[in-house]
């Protein structure tokens, strides 16, 4: 009886760790951009502004282009179409903000597309919690 219980416990642990696995990150640490750094750039009219792209459920950051959730094939195609109009050295920042990165279904496919298209100055906004905690609550520029 104890062997059956132990086997069931191990099966549940293995299955839950398998289900919770996410794809590996498609970005490097150097490609993460802190929210305060983006806000500082946005608030300085003398700095060249990046293309800010929302790949999540709704554009919150001022001036960002709303692509929609990048987990959806149609939105991946929309992102590719938008990016195809930019130079490969364009400054690009993508964000989602629906949840922490380890649960986010949108940032990995979006950043994979950016890498596949060989953009050299792309960044992922480091919203480690969510858009509310890491952007809105800090008073950074938002859509009106």
Q: Give the long-range contacts of residues 34-38, CB within 8 A, separation 24 or more.
A: 34/126, 35/125, 35/126, 35/127, 35/134, 35/135, 35/138, 35/140, 36/138, 36/140, 38/93, 38/125, 38/140
**Which position has the higher pLDDT, 135 or 15?**
135
Coil vs helix vs strand at 103: coil
**pTM more than 0.75:** yes
Q: Give residue limits of the domains in the chain.
A: 24-138
For residue range 94-131, list pLDDT tens digits in order: 999 998 888 899 999 999 999 999 999 999 999 989 99
Select 24-138's CATH number: 3.50.80.10, 3.90.226.10, 3.40.50.300, 3.40.250.10.
Answer: 3.40.250.10
């Amino acid at each position: 009886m104890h062997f059956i219980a132990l086997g069931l416990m191990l099966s549940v642990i293995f299955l839950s760790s398998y289900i919770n696995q996410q794809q590996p990150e498609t970005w490097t640490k150097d490609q993460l951009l802190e929210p305060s750094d983006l806000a500082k750039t946005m608030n300085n009219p003398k700095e060249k502004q990046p293309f800010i792209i929302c790949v999540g459920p709704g554009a919150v950051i001022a001036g960002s282009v709303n692509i929609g959730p990048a987990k959806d094939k149609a939105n991946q195609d929309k992102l590719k179409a938008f990016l195809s109009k930019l130079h490969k050295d364009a400054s690009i920042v993508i964000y989602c903000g629906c949840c922490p990165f380890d649960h986010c279904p949108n940032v990995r496919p979006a950043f994979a597309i950016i890498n596949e298209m060989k953009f050299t100055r792309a960044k992922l906004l480091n919203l480690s919690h969510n858009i509310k905690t890491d952007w809105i609550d800090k008073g950074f520029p938002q859509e009106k």
